[in-house]
Structure 1
Amino acid sequence: MSEQVTNLVRNYIAVWNERDAGKRRLLIDRVFSDACVYIDPNDSVAGKDAIERLVQALQARLPDLRFTLAGHVNAHHDQVLFGWTLAAPGAATPAATGVDMAVLDGDRIRQLHGFVNPRDQ
């Protein structure tokens, strides 16, 4: 597993946690390719600006929750798979968990497919 890919995933998680708009945009530009697409059960957006609006909207709805990387990053070729949790700092139980699969374009994410686990998992 490449440390570069693991750092990319850590920066991707940081995008969702960064509350400062300027810092968040720098992370988005570092993490996503120009032709990026983000798809999860609730949203499908294309482009860095749309991803930024999506992150802002989620932060507005869930201001006290933070994402963390769960487990290890698994990658081969141009694909990356990793788990995450969404929880309030110090919470014993996460509000949500899931798995994301990314398709890379060089050292950036071209496509991100997010999966949210059912509440009982």
Structure 2
Amino acid sequence: MESPSSLADRYVAVWNETNAERRKSQIAELWITGGRHYVGDREVEGYEALERRVRESHEKNVRDNANRFRAADDARRVHDAVVFHWEMLPASGDAILARGLEFLIVDGSGKIVADYQFFPA
């Protein structure tokens, strides 16, 4: 089974990915087909909705505002739950602009079944 920190790093990499086809592939590698993502009042389910959600966040935060995401060094796992914080920083700096908490439910193969994003953390 993949380490929690490796999963956190791969998760954050999706939100930073500039190439749409690679991003789609990474989403399929991380989530199950009917994977769900929750943030605030928003709920998305399935690859198409996940791709749209990640693309919108990427365009707003990474492409348009020149930021990047990284996983904090605190990922941990208990049975089928993985939790970690993520941080948004300027592309060329280390000042933390935002911080969120990710709570993932994974299946036996380590793919994300449900993704609960708490922002701000």
- Asked whether the two chains share a fold, i.e. TM above 0.5, the reply is yes
1:111 to 105, 109, 114: 114
Gaps of 5+ in 2: none
Contact 2:4–2:76 (CA<8 Å) still a contact in 1? no
Q: Which moved more, 1:42-51 or 1:3-12?
A: 3-12
Question: How far off its partner does 1:42 sit?
Answer: 5.1
**Identity among equivalent pairs (%):** 26
Q: Can you give the 5+ residue segments of structure 1 that lack an aligned partner in the other structure?
A: none
Backbone CA RMSD of aligned residues: 1.6
Alignment size in residue pairs: 117
CA-CA distance at 1:7 after TM superposition: 2.0
The letter for the 1-side match of 2:60 is R
**Residue number in structure 2 paired with 1:89:** 91
Shift of 1:75: 0.4
Secondary structure, aligned partner of 1:80: strand
Contact 2:36–2:115 (8 Å) recurs in 1: yes
Cα offsets for 1:49-88 (capped at 9, x unmatched): 1111011111222221111011221101100000110111
Change in CA separation of 1:5 and 1:93 when aligned onto 2, cut-off 3 Å = closer
- After the TM superposition, which segments of 4 or more aligned residues of structure 1 sit over 6 Å from their partners? none
